[in-house]
Amino acid sequence: MLYSIQNTIDKANLLLISVQIWEYKLVFDIDTGATYNIIFDYVYNQLKEGFVDMGKSINMFGIEGKRTDNKTVKADLEFDKTILTTEFQVVDAMDAVTNFQNDFGIQLHGILGVQFLKDNNCVIDFANKTIKIGE
């Protein structure tokens, strides 16, 4: 599936996509420099039923530069009527989320990193401002 990212690049100079977990629409930043997918803890705590606890954690540097152990969870994301299953690290990044919302007027719920891009055969076309997900 091909998805336009023109509006998000033009508005915030970021790759933002909207997905659903259950009936909830969430906004994720696609970050080609992020090793892991991240779901912010405030989202996870409100939607726990939509995630499967993988029973493990990963020690990593977070958005705010602190090394932390983060719970690993899995969820089904609905994107353009396609279900994509991916793992996330649950991260507390309230300061970064608040700053992002204040700067761009967009509430961010998480980050999709290289893991998501590889698992779903994604191709980002900056010239045409599109992202192709799958096949």
What does the CA dihedral 94, 98, 104, 107 come to, rounded to 10 degrees?
Answer: 60
Q: Which architecture characterizes domain 2-132 according to CATH?
A: Beta Barrel (2.40)
Q: How far apart are CA 125 and CA 22, in angstroms?
A: 29
Ramachandran category for residue 37: left, alpha or beta (phi over 0 → left; psi -120 to 50 → alpha): beta
Ranges of residues in the chain with a pLDDT under 50 are none
**Residue-range domain boundaries for the chain:** 2-132
Q: Specify the pLDDT at position 117.
A: 93
If you write DSSP's letter for every residue of 77-119 in order, what string do you get?
A: EEETTEEEEEEEEEE--HHHHHHHHHHHS----EEE-HHHHHH
Instruction: For residue 55, report the phi and psi dihedrals to the nearest 5 degrees.
Output: 70, 25
Q: How far apart are CA 14 and CA 124, in angstroms?
A: 12
Q: How far apart are CA 93 and CA 114, in angstroms?
A: 19
Q: Specify the pLDDT at position 62.
A: 64
Question: What does the block give as tokens for 60?
Answer: 């990593």
How many contiguous H segments (helices) and E segments (strands) does the chain have?
4, 10
> By C-alpha distance, which of 53, 47, 39 is closest to 112?
39
Q: What global pTM score does this model have?
A: 0.88
Q: Specify the pLDDT at position 100.
A: 86
